[in-house]
Amino acid sequence: MVDLAAHPRQCVRFDRHVLYLGAPGREQACPAALIGTTEAVLIQPSAAHVTPDSVVYPVDRLITVVTRRIAVTATYSTDRGRIDGILASASLRAPRTSRSGAPPSDVPGELSASPAAARRVLPAAATNYTGKGFDACTAPSAAEMQTWLRLSPYRAVGIYIGGSDRACAQPDLTPSWVSQQQAAGWHFMPIYVGPQASFGEITSAASQAASAAKDAVSQAQLLGFGRGTPIYYDMEAYPSTLTNRVLRFLTAWTREVHALGYTSGMYSNSLSGIIDLVNNYANPAYTMPDVIYDALWNGAANTKDPILPATDWALHHRIHQYQGGLNVTYGGDTINIDQDYLDVQQNVSGGTPQASQAVAQPSGAVDAFYEGSNGTLWHDWFAPRTGWHGPASMGGSLATQPSAVASSPGTVAVFWKGTDGHLWEVAASPGKGWSPLKRLDMGTLGSRPAAVAQSNGVIDVFWRGSADNHLWHAEYSPGNGWSGPQDLGSQLASVPAPAVSGSGTVSVFWTGTDGHLWEIRRGPGSAWGRAASLGMGKLGGAPTATGLASGVIDVFWPASSHASVWHVTYTPATGWGKASDLSGGVSAGPAAVSSSANGVDVFWKGSDSGLWWAASQGGTWQQPVRLGMGALGSGPFAAGQRSGVVDVFWKGSADSHLWHARYSGGSWDGPGDLGGAVS
């Protein structure tokens, strides 16, 4: 038995057979490397007026009991009967089994946390960071975090949000603590410690992984981490005889985390879990995590590892734990930590911030869609390491070219106007493949649809009305499904051009019947504003637009004379700027796409039938250039990645094939013939 009042720095650890009495201290001296749970009990004071309850959470192997003046937290491994016997001997009620939700994310401080506090959603960027971080077995106190923020080189912290093998109590890990640290400038690595292969705990890989993923997402939500947040599964080193079992487990984990709208991360030893992932990176039997957390204690504060090819989890999808188990002191506050170097920069401006026929995934995968000459939907796709695949017909009967979005990692949804005039959809999600083609009951469309998606899973689709030329809108929201059609009014003389910017602002642009540029906007959690003319002179065709995480919006259109492409930028600080001429004759397009955190690329078919390109980085525009890609038979479309990689597509002028070029590493590669027959 340990009296915590007499030992306030005692680490409350659940990997030993111990009875703890009293409230855990706020500055426990815990070893960073603890993992695993056994039969252990913590008894601490509770409020005098509570609703008695006793609950067992099987996924977490955790039992919580709350009664008048006493709160019990107990963990177990293989001998739950011992815990049940202890509770019965104290005349405490037998625990009921939790069938939904997750246990309090901090054990046990969250037992009395305000439900309202858990509803605050942190920006997804709270888990983005490039630089030094650390992880500790228990979340440090607010005072320690403040001191280390002031004096240490670290700006990211690994927190153990849950799991059956989380070994340390977490008295400080509350929604308010997370919110406070995020506001102060800290970034996070949410870590989940579920069943361990090395302990012989993985007996039914797929079902255990799915249960762990559901629990991990619930824990993340309790702490305020919203959709798109990476959750890192901690899989400690294991023998090579268990490789296939672990890969099946991690595949099911990643697919379930994706299905719930979050990003998959995985922590393991370089020569165990990480090398197994590397060896199976292109194996279609397994789904790779989006971010890897590589334990290689070589003392190097970078994300390099000799076993990691430069192309795997490249471009801001790595963490390196480069040293472990160190006592480090700043300002008199000593914490035992593992040292990490992060390079995690996920795209948070929106799943797909512009309307396009192509989408890119954080993994580097790219999907392109088009109406084939036979009137069906066709699909080409690119996979890292294995290259381009397809073309393949997906069926349907199209009256327009499609619009595609990727609202979360691994998901794709494609929309088009069918020959019946209605809105149609087909979608893919991790582990489930493509859905059947589905007609959405949104009335008759007067134009092709244009879709965008946010990182929270919301999809917005827009079109011009068939009878009234109004702007019409449908919205998909996870958990609620489709709503609409919604009449947003105004008078359109072109297809609408939506864009997502900032933390979820959706703007839609079109050519009005007066020939000017018009806009309507909806901020996060707000209703649609009023449509307004932005002027900009007479437009020579439909505009195109894209948005950035910074809130910047770029809009492009052909001049009324088609002698050039024009452009205007919106910035949150100054509003709309002055329209400028990018020059270069245009016969089809333009098509805009965001690439990298501050980059925008725009493409068009020139009056000479060549592919023209202009790009900006941070608002500084280069002069348009003609790319040596031959003659185009249509206007181009494109997909951009946060890494700066851009893929652009067009119909061939002579063969009607789908052609492609890629910008990567400062140069263009192409043209490449993807085959097929584009309508």
User: Tell me: the pLDDT tens digits for 434-463?
Assistant: 999 999 999 999 999 999 998 778 899 999
Does residue 118 have a pLDDT over 60? no
**Pair (340, 449) in one structural domain:** no
Q: pLDDT, tens digit, for every residue of 224-282?
A: 888 788 999 999 999 999 999 999 999 999 999 988 878 899 999 999 999 999 999 98
Residue at 436 is within a domain: no
> In this model, does residue 467 exceed pLDDT 70?
yes
The pLDDT assigned to 613 comes to 95
How many whole angstroms from its chain centre is CA 89?
47
Tell whether the torsion through CA atoms of 307, 312, 314 and 318 is positive or negative.
negative
Higher local confidence (pLDDT), 673 or 504: 673
Q: What is the Cα–Cα distance from 277 to 15, expressed in whole angstroms?
A: 29
Q: What is the pLDDT of residue 597?
A: 62
Only one residue has tokens 């920006």, namely 123
Q: What is the DSSP letter of 270?
A: I
What is the per-residue pLDDT across 57-66, written as a single tens digit (0 to 9) for each?
A: 999 999 999 9
Q: State residue 601's pLDDT score.
A: 94
Averaged pLDDT score across all residues of the chain: 91
For residue 30, what pLDDT is reported? 95
Confidence band, pLDDT 50/70/90 cuts, at residue 100: low
Is residue 173 within 8 A of residue 106, CB to CB? The reply is yes
**Domain at 639, CATH number:** 2.120.10.70
Asked if 55 and 191 sit in the same domain, the reply is yes
- Are residues 255 and 112 located together in one domain of the fold? yes
Are 338 and 485 within one domain? no
Residue 614: the pLDDT is 94
In a domain, 182, yes or no: yes
CATH number at residue 63: 3.20.20.80
User: Is 548 inside a domain boundary?
Assistant: yes
pLDDT computed for residue 168 by the predictor: 96
For the stretch 126-170, pLDDT in tens is 898 899 999 999 999 999 999 999 999 999 999 999 999 999 999
Question: Could you tell me the pLDDT band of residue 120, with boundaries at 50, 70 and 90?
Answer: low
Residue 280: phi, psi to the nearest 5? -120, 20
* Same domain (yes/no): 172, 303: yes
In this prediction, residue 592 carries a pLDDT of: 96
- How far apart CA 425 and CA 411 sit, in angstroms, is 13
Whether residue 139 lies inside any domain: the answer is yes
Domain edge (last residue) among 344, 369, 397 = 344
Residue 113: pLDDT band with limits 50, 70, 90: very low
* pLDDT at residue 251, as a whole number: 95
Q: Domain count of the chain?
A: 2
Model confidence pLDDT, tens digit, residues 178-234: 989 988 889 999 999 999 999 999 999 999 999 999 999 999 999 988 878 899 999
Domain shared by 477 and 338, yes or no: no
pLDDT greater than 50 at residue 293? yes
Q: Quick one: 328 exposed, middle or buried, by C-beta within 10 A (0-12, 13-18, 19+)? A: middle
Q: What are the pLDDT digits (tens) for 413-440?
A: 999 999 999 999 999 987 778 999 999 9
Asked if residue 136 belongs to a domain, the reply is: yes
Phi, psi of 467 (to 5 degrees): -115, -30
CB contact set of 573 (below 8 Å; sequence gap of 6+): none
Whole-number pLDDT of residue 109? 38
**Boundary (domain end) residue, out of 344, 377, 396:** 344
- My answer on whether 534 and 663 are in the same domain is yes
Q: Which residues is 481 bridged to in the sheet?
A: 477
At 108 the pLDDT is 43
Residue 404 within a domain: no
List, for residues 43-54, the tens digit of each pLDDT value.
999 877 888 899
Structure tokens at 637: 């479309």
Identity of the residue numbered 672: G
Residue 419 belongs to some domain of the structure: no
| Cis omega (within 30 of 0) for bond into 590 | yes
Last residue of one domain, picked from the residues 344, 369, 402 = 344
Strand segments (E) across 270-373:
291-295, 317-330, 333-344, 358-360, 366-371
> Among 161-170, 339-348, 578-587, which is the least confidently predicted range?
339-348
pLDDT tier, 117 (very low <50, low <70, confident <90, very high otherwise)? very low
Predicted local confidence at residue 666, as pLDDT: 82
The average pLDDT across 321-331 equals: 97
Judge whether 325 lies within some domain: yes
Q: What is the dihedral of CA 211, 215, 217, 218, to 10 degrees?
A: 140
**Residue reference for tokens 């989006």:** 290
Say if residue 464 is in the same domain as residue 599. yes
Please give the residue range of the domain that contains residue 168: 2-344
Q: pLDDT-based confidence at 347, cuts 50/70/90?
A: low
Q: Looking at the predicted structure, is the pLDDT value of residue 99 above 80?
A: no
